[in-house]
Amino acid sequence: MSSPDLSEHARRNRRHWDETADDYQARHASFIGRPEPRWGIWQLPEEELDILGEVAGKDVLELGCGAAQWSILLAGRGARPVGLDNSERQLEHARRLMAQAGVEFPLVHASAESVPLPDAGFDVVFCDHGAIGWADPYRTVPEASRLLRPGGLLAFSITSPIASLCFSLTTDLIEPTLHRPYFGLHRLEDDETVNFQLPYGEWVRLLRRSGLELEDLVEPRPPAGARSTYWEESELPWARDWPSECIWKARKRVS
Ligand SMILES: C[S@@+](CC[C@H](N)C(=O)[O-])C[C@H]1O[C@@H](n2cnc3c(N)ncnc32)[C@H](O)[C@@H]1O
């Protein structure tokens, strides 16, 4: 599919995800293919964190749904999900898992920076390490707000700003060392991919400028005995002392 309005970084990330989707799904299948919704690097249960709340009867958009493990579970709880992803190969995995689960809902192949859906069509827009860390938040956050109904919820998990500072491009690991400046955090790239991050205050201002009120910032910590297919065992001590990820919760202003 040709996408003339796709940004340079979305094009690069699309190529990366199309090439690596099969390996990604094989590596993480049993970790994220749980029977109940769980968040992030440590797969903490939604039941404990209560980020999305009741979803039955709600229109829910997942930005960067991958193989749609989350949306499939939310459909099972009575939500009306739509899964959006920039990678056609990831969406092929989503179709496979949806067929296995016997559920159907729309899938959209597009970048979360420019979503081909009308304004105010959703009660919940969310992602779990999905598009908001992989696309420019100065585009995706206003876009998410546009798609939400007044009072609707935006919730997304993303690497924490502290972890982004401590990630070493040399070892590919998180280290107890600040590898880059905090001020000006935005675009982080390696040879294949482009990721995005902002300083904490800038996240807050961007949410507010986009018509959203911040409700919570959850900083999950690995529980005793935690393991992850995303982080190495050697990185666990770091994650016990500093936040590896953030879950941001904000609500679309009513007036
Ligand atoms: C780390 S995966 C997470 C997917 C899923 N939440 C999971 O836990 O497996 C990130 C996903 O974001 C998608 N993505 C990257 N850039 C995107 C963009 N600009 N718009 C929409 N999706 C994007 C990728 O294709 C990939 O499927």
Read off the pLDDT band of 138 (50, 70, 90): very high
Ligand 1 site, residue 66, Cβ cutoff 6 A: yes
* Average pLDDT of span 156-164: 98
Question: What percent of the chain shows pLDDT beyond 70?
Answer: 98
Residues 113 and 236: their CA atoms lie apart, in Å, by 33
Q: Does residue 130's CB lie within 6 angstroms of at least one atom of ligand 1?
A: yes
Ligand 1: which residue has its CA nearest to atom 10?
130
196: how many CB neighbours lie within 10 A of its CB?
A: 23
Three-state secondary structure call for residue 200: helix
CA 99 – ligand 1 centroid, Å: 20
Q: Which residue has the tokens 């970084």?
A: 9
pTM above 0.85, yes or no: yes
Q: Which residue bears the tokens 């959203």?
A: 212
Residue 1 has pLDDT above 60, yes or no: no
Residue 80 structure tokens: 């009306």
Q: Exposed, middle or buried, 36 (CB in 10 Å: 0-12/13-18/19+)?
A: exposed
CATH 3.30.450.20 at 8-252, yes or no:
no
43 lines ligand 1 (CB under 6 A): no
Ligand 1: which residue has its CA nearest to atom 18? 111
- Mean pLDDT throughout 221-248? 95
pLDDT of residue 4: 59
The pLDDT tens digits for 24-76 are 999 999 999 999 999 999 999 999 999 999 999 999 999 999 999 999 999 99
Task: Give pLDDT, residue 255.
Answer: 81
Residues facing residue 60 across a β-bridge: 81, 124
Q: What confidence tens digit (pLDDT) does each residue in 82-136 have?
A: 999 999 999 999 999 999 999 999 999 999 999 999 999 999 999 999 999 999 9
Mean pLDDT (the chain, rounded): 96
Q: H-type helices in the chain, by residue range? A: 8-32, 46-49, 69-76, 88-101, 131-134, 137-147, 161-166, 200-209, 236-241
The protein residue whose alpha carbon is closest to atom 24 in ligand 1 is: 64
